[in-house]
Amino acid sequence: MAKAEYRAPKGTSDLLPADARAWQHLLAVAQDLFARYGYEPVYTPIFEHTDVFVRGIGEATDIVGKEMYTFDDKGTPPTSLTLRPEGTAPIVRAALENGLTANGQSAKVYYSGPMFRYERPQAGRRRQFWQIGVESLGMGEPTADAEAIALLMEFFAAAGIPRSAMRLLINTMGDEVCRPAYRSEVAAFIRGNAAGLCDECARRADTNPLRAFDCKNLTCRETMKRAPVLRDRLCDDCAVHYAAVKSHLDALGIAYEEDTSLVRGLDYYTRTVFEVQAEGLGAQNAIGGGGRYDRLFEMYGGRPTPGLGFALGFERTMLALRSAGVDLPAPAIADVFVASAAPELASEVFAVTQRLRSAGVPAEMDHQGRSLKSQMKAADRLGSLLVVFVGPDELARGEVTVRDMTDKNEWRVSLHGIEDQVRTALFERYLARDVAVSGTPSEGRS
Ligand code: HAM
């Protein structure tokens, strides 16, 4: 075991090939789906000026108060920078800076990558974790809220999480018209019920009373169940908006539960918030969540511009898939292995492998001078469907031998045009496999 300083830092993990492929698979599912909904990719820097997060997420949140990786750059005077704990604030900063929503335009963007929060690590709670998210900017209508929720649910379904293993929670946070009075009411409730709350929640009466709904402490949860409910105190516009979001969800047949204590951990939310929780994940059961943030552009000095979106966590999505017993597809690493028992034919083996690769066939060969038996084991490990044997006798006749790794049948193939022959043989096997898996052939290779 390596010395502690040569291990990955606490709360971080390496994505080794199996996890990295799973991440790329989920990303591919997301990209395909998001493109159908009209979202375009955006990449923002991994760090931002600290104030982007302090302003956007809110000073009295756990993220800003306790969890940010903040450092000074080397400028004079030094500037405070922070590794992004989430993607929404950077996207709004970038949209404003680059005029994505200038002149009343709208924009639908998605992003993916690592996020950083200094949290106490546990299963599903990492200090570096991976998110995929979308933001719809400039859209204030409730159809946009329902669309984002529908998309998030469709993503999880496409990833393979059974609907019965997920709960969709929704709530409304109101807006600047109805929330201030409600905040004061909750603050008064906290002051009057401090005995049933932890010290931190009791202090929240003065800083950020709504955060008390987020506390994981069971006594606080019990106490906050008796707190005033915003849904009953919404202004007319927020009530109409919330009712419309629900009716769009109903029309789409998307089942949800209203959870009046769902406030989410970020202060930028207005009106609709939502979260998807998965079964079997313990305390860290939120696999994705989001909401509307109609005042965030103004916090950065922009014009009033509505916005909403969601982010989902890769690690928790994987935990949810595992807990539901779902295996992600594990495509072969090399569909074809080019093998030989004759070390002196190494350059011919290499040439055949390269020809297949150039023709688009995932092909591998041995680079370690291994025996034929070991090469066959390697072919098995890589999931190869076919092995191409390069031997002196066949080569003298301008041929190679191809073996089907499933039924062990072998046949000779002319070296001339080997690419087409191997591709055809592979295609037949993809087709047979797809029919066996789904009952219907898919288009080409999956
Ligand atoms: P969030 O709820 O803080 O929202 O994070 C979204 C998802 O990221 C969570 O549901 C969870 O799956 C994952 N996640 C969060 N923290 C961790 C962690 N420490 N370890 C592992 N996974 C984690 C946001 O980040 C908002 N920006 C979502 C949003 C987009 N709202 C509007 N637009």
Q: Give me ligand 1 centre to Cα 84, in Å.
A: 12
Domain annotation covers residue 228: no
289 lies in the same domain as 356: no
C-alpha dihedral over 309, 310, 311, 317, to 10 degrees? -150
* Structure confidence at residue 329 (pLDDT): 80
Domain annotation covers residue 121: yes
* Structure confidence at residue 446 (pLDDT): 41
Q: Give me ligand 1 centre to Cα 135, in Å.
A: 13
Domain boundary among 262, 293, 323: 323
* Structure confidence at residue 332 (pLDDT): 83
242 lies in the same domain as 313: yes
Burial class from Cβ neighbours inside 10 Å (0-12, 13-18, 19+) for residue 272 reads buried
Nearest CA to ligand 1 atom 2: 289
* Structure confidence at residue 439 (pLDDT): 67
Closest ligand 1 atom to Cα of 117: 19
342 lies in the same domain as 315: no
User: What is the rounded CA–CA span in Å between residue 107 and residue 142?
Assistant: 16
303 lies in the same domain as 344: no
Nearest CA to ligand 1 atom 14: 313
108 lies in the same domain as 153: yes
345 lies in the same domain as 300: no
Q: Give me ligand 1 centre to Cα 290, in Å.
A: 8
Domain boundary among 323, 346, 381: 323
How do 40-41 and 107-116 pair as beta strands?
parallel
Burial class from Cβ neighbours inside 10 Å (0-12, 13-18, 19+) for residue 153 reads buried
As for ligand 1, residues whose beta carbon falls within 6 Å of it are: 86-88, 117, 119, 124-126, 129, 131, 133, 135, 265-266, 286-291, 309-313, 315-316
Q: Give me ligand 1 centre to Cα 407, in Å.
A: 47
Q: Which residues contact 303 (CB under 8 A, 6 or more apart)?
A: 297
Domain annotation covers residue 394: yes
Domain annotation covers residue 211: no
50 lies in the same domain as 129: yes
39 lies in the same domain as 115: yes
131 lies in the same domain as 268: yes
310 lies in the same domain as 351: no
Total number of domains in the chain? 2
Domain boundary among 323, 355, 380: 323
* Structure confidence at residue 23 (pLDDT): 95
pTM here is 0.92
Are residues 325 and 129 in contact, defined by beta-carbon separation less than 8 angstroms?
Answer: no
125 lies in the same domain as 62: yes
Mutate to test the pocket of ligand 1, among 86, 126, 270 (most ligand atoms within 8 A of CB): 86
* Structure confidence at residue 177 (pLDDT): 97
* Structure confidence at residue 432 (pLDDT): 86
Q: Give me ligand 1 centre to Cα 116, in Å.
A: 10
Domain annotation covers residue 344: yes
* Structure confidence at residue 444 (pLDDT): 44
Domain annotation covers residue 208: no
Q: Enumerate residue ranges in the chain where pLDDT < 50.
A: 443-446
Q: What is the CATH number of the domain that holds 90?
A: 3.30.930.10
Q: Give me ligand 1 centre to Cα 275, in Å.
A: 10
Domain annotation covers residue 345: yes
Q: Give me ligand 1 centre to Cα 311, in Å.
A: 6
**pLDDT tens-digit series, residues 136-187:** 999 999 999 999 999 999 999 999 999 999 999 999 999 999 999 999 999 9
Q: What is the CATH number of the domain that holds 431?
A: 3.40.50.800
354 lies in the same domain as 252: no
Closest ligand 1 atom to Cα of 313: 12
Closest ligand 1 atom to Cα of 286: 10
User: What is the rounded CA–CA span in Å between residue 199 and residue 145?
Assistant: 36
Mutate to test the pocket of ligand 1, among 115, 130, 151 (most ligand atoms within 8 A of CB): 115
**pLDDT tens-digit series, residues 402-416:** 999 999 999 999 999
Containing domain of residue 398, as a range? 336-438
* Structure confidence at residue 33 (pLDDT): 98
Domain annotation covers residue 137: yes
